[in-house]
Amino acid sequence: MYSFQEFHKKLLRPSRPSMYEAEANLLILGAARSGTTLLATMLATHSKVGVLFEDLWGGAGRILARQYKGVKLCVPNQIELNYYWSIIDLVLARIPKLRNVTPLFKKAMSRYSISDYVLNSELKVIAIIRDVESVTQSMQKRTSRTEQEAIAEWSRAIEVMHTVYEDNSSRMMIVNFNSLVTKPEETAKKLCTFLDIDFEEAMLQAYKHTPIYKSDGIEASKAVISEMKIVNDENIKNRYEKLLNIAI
């Protein structure tokens, strides 16, 4: 006899996504509250880049007239390394009230996993990292997460991004949030070099177009050097330091 969890995992798991559904060739990742929205908007202001904001259905392939068809998702609450939806998830997703009570949704929300997206050999990944203290404080301020829940979420994001980089270093760029807000032009130019497109001045006006967080400019004062005192896992600390060392 299968347990409920085994039944859900083994018998109702759909086939892997088709290449059409995986046509996104740009994936933007990061922990929640780490600067993913500003980064995605900076990229989306470029004339050759289209980005879907937190699309959970794999729809980036439908973006028209752009060299890059991207999606921005937060790890792990919107996308995970290997998980994607089962048939029963797809049905229940149509019933909003069930999302808060069913155990099926105590996991990443995206229909497709990072591993599904990287099946596209043309995919490029851009991930952003930010200090745990700022991320945790921001999560607690804007959501109902406890400090430990926020730290756990940030830690999982670091673990996932580290794993993705190890397997896809030639097509992945890591962005340091501090560089993004203190050296936006330099950072934007490096992003363009990575994507093999020309830099456009409009990218520096991204703060005017962010869909949620409006501001009068890119706030350099938000840059913080992490002391990592609230993280006890040495493996996570080491992985964060490695990502920090290779970040632009």
At 106-128, the pLDDT tens digits run 455 788 899 999 999 999 999 99
Instruction: Please name the residues in contact with 41: beta carbons below 8 A apart, sequence gap of 6 or more.
Output: 51, 206, 207, 209, 210, 211
Give percent above pLDDT 70 in the chain: 81
Residue 211 has pLDDT above 70, yes or no: yes
Confidence of residue 68 (pLDDT cuts 50, 70, 90): very high
Give percent above pLDDT 90 in the chain: 67
pLDDT value at position 174?
98
Least confident of 36-40, 85-89, 242-246: 85-89
All structural domains of the chain, each given as residue ranges with its CATH number in brackets, are: 4-246 (3.40.50.300)
Rounded to an integer, the average pLDDT of 221-237 is: 91
Distance CA(115)–CA(232), nearest Å, equals 28
Tokens of 36: 């993913």
- Alpha carbon 20 to its chain centroid, in Å, reads 21
By C-alpha distance, which of 77, 64, 200 is closest to 135?
77
For 3-24, the pLDDT digits (tens) are 544 544 444 444 455 544 457 9
Confidence of residue 142 (pLDDT cuts 50, 70, 90): confident
pLDDT value at position 115?
92
Residue 180 has pLDDT above 50, yes or no: yes
Instruction: Please name the residues in contact with 184: beta carbons below 8 A apart, sequence gap of 6 or more.
Output: 42, 203, 204, 218
Query: Are 81 and 164 contacting, i.e. CB atoms less than 8 angstroms apart?
Result: yes
pLDDT value at position 243?
98
pLDDT value at position 103?
46
- The bridge status of strand 68-74 relative to strand 26-30 is parallel
